[in-house]
Amino acid sequence: MESTHPERRQTPRRCCSLMIEVRAPEQRYPNRCETTDISPGGCYVKSLFPLPVGTVVDVSIRTGDTEVQTKGVVKTSDPALGNGIEFTEMTPSQTLQLQHYLKTLPEAEAPEFIP
């Protein structure tokens, strides 16, 4: 079956399970989540209580011995599943850190349907 949803990602996703903290401005404490996939442009995080689309968030990702902190915006919100987050403010050194880590991971296969 062919998908009617075009691929929106600009860079390949990598399957991985990374610890990530996501915090919206109105939240006192960050939501500790786990990624299912990640790319230099964003990630998908598992969460029972996903944030609404359009929410601006602070993101902190642990990649082995390093931590990448950036800002992002929620692009997808799947009830009781999680959020797709686009990274919006990443410094060149943070991007390089993340790209270096991603080279160690296998490329994810695109799903049939992207909600």
E-assigned strands of 1-115?
14-15, 19-23, 31-39, 42-46, 56-63, 66-78, 82-89
pLDDT, the chain, mean: 83
- Reported confidence tier of residue 15, pLDDT bands at 50, 70, 90: confident
Which amino acid makes up residue 94? Q
Which amino acid makes up residue 6? P
- Distance, in Å, from the CA atom of 41 to the CA atom of 13, rounded to the nearest integer, reads 9
- pLDDT given at position 106: 66
Reported as a single tens digit per residue, the pLDDT across 36-82 is: 999 889 999 999 999 999 999 999 998 878 889 999 999 999 999 99
- Distance, in Å, from the CA atom of 51 to the CA atom of 21, rounded to the nearest integer, reads 13
What the chain holds in terms of domains, given with CATH numbers, is 14-102 (2.40.10.220)
- pLDDT given at position 74: 97
- Distance, in Å, from the CA atom of 115 to the CA atom of 99, rounded to the nearest integer, reads 26
- pLDDT given at position 65: 80
